[in-house]
Amino acid sequence: MAGLVMVLAAAPANIAQAAPTARALRPRVIHTGRRPTGYTVTFHYWAPSATSVEIQGEWSFARATNTPTASWWSTLRRGIRPHAWQPGDFPFAPDTWPVSRMKKNPRTGVWTFTTPLPSGLFTYGFYVNCPSRTGNGCTEVSDPANPPWNQTGNTVTGSVEPASEVYVPSDGRFGTQNLGWQAAARRRGRLAEVTYASPTHRHPAGQNYLAIYTPPGYNPHRASPYRTIYLSHGGGGNEVDWSTQGDLRNIMDNLIDDGQIEPAVVVMTNFNGFATNCQQGSWESAYDDDLINHVIPYVQAHYRVSAKAADRAFAGLSCGGDLAGTLLANDTGEFGYYGLFSPGANALPTLTAAQLTAMRGVSVFVGSGWQEPTSDDGGPGPRVIAAQDIATLTAGGVPLTVDLMNSGHDWYLWRILLHDWLARTAFWPTITTK
């Protein structure tokens, strides 16, 4: 079940300066007890022969508002830097995350960058010898001392995610959120990259990839089969998105460890490589067919999971949220629980009376950020990106859970929505109406 193996080009080394240990180069999270957040993080990158190293991370912030205006949007696009962070500010990057220059120690060849950060998980990556101050035209690389889970040295199994993650605790004295469920848990589940037969998949032909999470203590011979959670990434992503930027393993481990959910298997899919993809017309049917006729049978044949639809859940973000909407409308009975995270305005088609009746027998969750851009030019539009879908389901009498918060269209939002969906609705008693 080995996935695609890729070998990345090794970073140039300077034999005159021995490389520090990976432990010495990992991000250092320091509890300062000082404003603005009580914590700083120092990032390191060893490149003695480099002429410049820059770092890009999820540390641009915005102030909360539920009534976007043109002037507010203009200010928002410039972003609030970490040193000016205030309680209530949230990560937000309508265009791209900021790129900052790192400082080189000529004696050790180590480049460093230090910034205060509030609590939570932050994704970051490096640009080495990039002529652009914004990283444009250059290739981002992950932290060699803190690589993604599917990378060992310069070898990647499955899809490449050129970024790493660091978790920052909360110091409540400075008004930061307690996001401890995003940190590494006491007991750890496992992640694996697998390849399965996918007859309609074109790139590569006839096969596709999954990232699969099994819970701590997973037992392939357990008397009671595990429930299964299926997740889709968004546009521009791949099957490892949820397990890297999405912090899936930590979220699942903590929810299980705290007794908030039962142990479950999580299957993270890849919708790239079919004849059509996100925003290319009626692309959903190819994915839906592959999921129902190939992915689910593969998982049920290789893992100790339930074959009952009531024991399966599906959620997706952005374009993946659209997939969740089409599955909810057209294949309602395949899953007992649906999560639509930041779906587009047309995630749901015009619904028939029969479709609405079927939807009343499953659990539906819709989540969105107040500050997600909703118009083609990226400016503020309706109050939330999912407003039309919420209105469609509500008008049709479909019971649903709605989760709205201050956030843009990014992983800060989707991590929280995943946590909330799992903790509040997934595999809770199914909602029914007479």
pLDDT beneath 50: ranges in the chain: 1-2, 9-10, 12-15, 375-382, 430-434
pLDDT in the model for residue 67: 55
pLDDT in the model for residue 36: 98
Are 166 and 27 within 8 A, CB to CB? yes
**Domain assignments of the chain as residue spans, ordered by start:** 5-59+97-178, 183-424
Count Cβ atoms within 10 A of the Cβ of residue 333 and give its class: 0-12 exposed, 13-18 middle, 19 or more buried.
exposed
Tell me the sheet residues that pair with 365.
339, 401
Distances (CA, A) of 427 to 259, 364, 367, 430: 13, 11, 17, 7
The tens digit of pLDDT for each residue in 4-14 reads: 555 554 454 44
CA distance 337 to 359: 10
If one counts every other C-beta atom within 10 angstroms of the C-beta of residue 282, the result is: 8
Superfamily of domain 5-59+97-178 in CATH is Immunoglobulins (2.60.40.10)
pLDDT in the model for residue 15: 43
pLDDT in the model for residue 18: 84
pLDDT in the model for residue 283: 74
pLDDT in the model for residue 1: 45
Three-state secondary structure call for residue 291: helix
Count Cβ atoms within 10 A of the Cβ of residue 356 and give its class: 0-12 exposed, 13-18 middle, 19 or more buried.
middle
CA distance 288 to 293: 8
Q: Which two tokens stand for residue 316?
A: 């997706």
pLDDT in the model for residue 154: 87
Helix (H) or strand (E) holding 209: strand 205-214
pLDDT in the model for residue 223: 97
183-424 to CATH, choices 3.30.460.10, 3.40.50.1820, 3.40.50.720, 3.30.530.20 = 3.40.50.1820
Q: Is 383 left (phi over 0), alpha (psi -120 to 50) or beta?
A: alpha
pLDDT in the model for residue 372: 84
- Dihedral angle, C-alpha 367, 370, 371, 373, nearest 10 °: 60
CA distance 304 to 264: 10
Q: Measured on CA atoms in the order 211, 217, 219, 225, is the torsion positive or negative?
A: negative
CA distance 348 to 386: 10
Residue 156 main-chain phi, psi, to 5 deg: -115, 130
CA distance 8 to 16: 23
Model-level pTM?
Answer: 0.93
Angle, to 10 degrees, between the axis of helix 411-424 and the axis of helix 248-257?
30
